[in-house]
Each structure stands twice: as structure tokens, then as C-alpha cells.
Amino acid sequence: MSISRTLLGLLENEPSYGYTLKHRYDELFARTKTLAFGQVYATLGRLERDGYAEVVGVETGEGPERRRYAITTEGVAELDTWIRTPEPATAFAQSTLFVKTTLALLSGRPPREVLDAQRGVHLARMRELTKARTRADDIDRLAVDYEIAHLDADLRWIEEASERLEHRDRAKNKGNRP
Amino acid sequence: MSISRTLLGLLENEPSYGYTLKHRYDELFARTKTLAFGQVYATLGRLERDGYAEVVGVETGEGPERRRYAITTEGVAELDTWIRTPEPATAFAQSTLFVKTTLALLSGRPPREVLDAQRGVHLARMRELTKARTRADDIDRLAVDYEIAHLDADLRWIEEASERLEHRDRAKNKGNRP
DNA sequence: GACGACTATTCACCCGGCGTATAGTCCTCG
DNA sequence: CGAGGACTATACGCCGGGTGAATAGTCGTC
């Protein structure tokens, strides 16, 4: 999901310490999992190396250095093209659910169990989200709606796949009884 | 998407060389991007280290060794629980499209442009897929339908986000004219 | 017999993700 | 007062995932 460009985006708003950046990121984007500190500093190092960010002040006030980072003009340019360039539309082509279902089919395991199990956790999350949705502000609601839309898509696909596989089984059994 | 478990799943069907495994994987799952050889061998090494796969024959027929891998009983057990355990339902909580839109909002860039650009490539992919769907066998069709469902979800969200943001803008402009 | 296509593997590098260690400051509560 | 806990801030090391280039033998064919 490109942590590095996201952090660059936050840096554009205001120069920050890695520490602050981490918390800002969590507030905005960490709905399920927070960012690790280690990753922030590693990423900042790469951004600096690539000329997209620079240190604009080191406070060595007895203790660990506090280094404030700012975005550079090249950084702004890079961020700009990243934001403007759409993601490849093939992002949904690889799905774990599909792989598991396929492998189940290939190996003689009942794919129904795979699909049913996934439906279970999806429905639970769905209930959670619809509850959360009512007390969400507008930007949060955008995020919640995004997730709901894709859970819904997954659930629809699960139904359809279940039906189609069942249908196929019935056809096969019919053929086996002469 | 767990390449390692997927390869384990293919190994369960029949013991194979890394090379063969790579091609088998590509046939089944590489709809948009093929697997790199390097990754296959690295992954096989880890599977062996963890006791999930083992070398069952080295052919040293003048030239590079050809090493045939097979799944172990622990490998089968691991694969089994992987297939049966549903994925966390929070997989859709982090989306690049949402991040870009949010960053655009925060930085005063028009989010419309982000959404419009993404809609463009999504629609193009959608046309491609609906064409491919008619001449796809049943397992391929499952994959195509999966992708279509999620593109559709993304497109619906794009529409809704556009509308909501526009609405918000109008409300703001109204408020600014006393 | 030279050249391209195919089988098969290795190596080196980078990014992303996670856990832990370090170290000073500031508050608070007994 | 001072011991402990919370908070600000950074560094380090390890692992898995992902990519590209290098190596090397075989087989067909023109």
C-alpha cells in the first residue's frame, strides 16, 4: 500500500519527527493494525537517501537526537505523480480466497468448507462495521463504506461460487448413475 | 497472498522441480503477473528448512542438479489448516485508493481527479474482463467473476465518494456566501 | 556447427514488517 | 522525596517477499 508515499504525504502537510509521523499515520489510516516504529525510521532513511525528504533540524538536547524531517521539492513532485497516477486495475486479480478454493478443488477437499468459513468471519466483520458506521464522521465513513463494499463483493462471490460448485456436483452425480 | 502455502498446495498434488512448480503456478494463478524463479527456489528452501517439504531425489546428470521436492506429512498438516482457516476479514481495510483520496483532501488537491483517473482504468479493465468471461472455462470464470465483483465494488465506492465530496463542497460554498 | 529455445538453479540486492533495546523527560502518588 | 509508570524519540537485527541478472547444460534446426 506504499507506506513510503503515504508518509511523504503526511510530511507535505508539515515537517515532523518520525515519532509524530507514526501517530499521525495511525490516526488517519490504521483502522486495523498500527504502524511499527521501526518501519517509519527505515522508510524515512530511504526517503532521505532518494532525495524526497531531508533533515531540517537536529535537536540534541541531552538524550537521543530528535530529527525533524521535511519534504523536498523532488519529494513534492514524486508525491504528486503518485497521487495522480491511478493504481493498476489488476489489484484484485490475486485473492487468497480464490487460491484456497482452487487448491481445495484440486486436492479433493470440500470447497464448501472453505467458502463457509470465510463467509462466517466476513459476516461478523460486516455486523461490526454497520454498527460502527452510525457513529463515524464523514472521512471515517468513507473508509467504512469502502470496506463494506468489498466484504459485500466477497460475500456475493462466495454465494455464487457455492451455487455453481454444488450445481456441478449434482450434474456429476447424475452422470455417474446410469 | 502466501506464495509458500500455494506452492505447498501444488506440491501436494505431485512432487516437482522448482522449475515445473513455477510454470504450474503460472498456469493456475498468474492472471496478471508471473512468478519469478528466484522466489520459487527461495520459498522451497524455507519450506525445506521448516520441515514442510523435502528433496526426494537429486539428478546430477552432467549439468546443474535437478532437485525434486515433495511435501512432508507436517507439510500436509500445515497446508490443511491454512486452507481451512479463513483469512482475517479486515483484508480490505487498507486501500491505496482511499489513502490517495484522503491525502488529496488533506493537501488541497482536488480528490475528483484521483477518483476519475481510477475510474478510468477500472472501466477499461472491466470491459476487458467481460469480453474474456465468455470464452473462459468454469474455474477461470470463477477468477474473472471475483475480479469483476471487486472492480464493481470499487466503482460504486468511487461514485458515492464523488457525490459525497461534491455535496460537501456545495454546502461549504453556500455557507461562505452570507 | 552456430544459434536460439528450453530446462534448471543460484546469487545478490531491495523493500516491507515485526520485535526489542535504549534513553531521557515528565508526572504522580504514596 | 523518590520510585514507578507513561510518554517522546530513535536504532538495530532478523525474516519473508519480490526482482533481475548470471550460469550451464541439452536439444532441435537451418
* pLDDT given at position A150: 94
Q: Does pLDDT of A39 surpass 60?
A: yes
Give the pLDDT score at A176: 56
| Candidates 2.30.40.10, 1.10.10.10, 2.30.30.90, 3.30.1490.100; CATH matching B3-84 | 1.10.10.10
Please list every residue in chain A whose beta carbon sits closer than 8 Å to the beta carbon of residue B152: 153
pLDDT per residue as tens digits for the range A158-168: 999 999 888 87
Instruction: With cut-offs at 50, 70 and 90, classify the pLDDT of residue B177.
Output: low
Domain spans in chain A, listed from the N-terminal domain onward: 3-84, 90-175
Specify the range with the lowest mean pLDDT, choosing from A29-43, A56-70, A130-144, B138-152: A56-70
Across the interface, whether the CB atoms of A32 and B90 are under 8 A apart is answered: yes
Average pLDDT in chain A: 88
pLDDT tens-digit readout, B20-64? 999 999 988 888 888 999 999 999 999 999 999 999 877 665 445
Q: Closest nucleotide to A41's CA, by C1' atom?
A: D10
Across B152-173, average pLDDT? 86
Is A59's pLDDT higher than 80? no
Nearest-by-Cβ selection for B157 from A122, A149, A154: A149
* B143 inside 8 A of chain A by CB: yes
The answer, for B81 touching chain A at a CB cutoff of 8 Å, is no
Let me know if A3 is exposed, middle or buried by CB neighbors in 10 A (0-12, 13-18, 19+). Answer: middle
**What is the DSSP annotation of chain B?**
--HHHHHHHHHHHS-EEHHHHHHHHHHHH-SSSPPPHHHHHHHHHHHHHTTSEEEEEEE-SSSS-EEEEEE-HHHHHHHHHHHHSPPPGGGGS--HHHHHHHHHHHHT--HHHHHHHHHHHHHHHHHHHHHHHHT--HHHHHHHHHHHHHHHHHHHHHHHHHHHHHHHHHHHHHHH--
For residue B101, the model assigns a pLDDT of 93
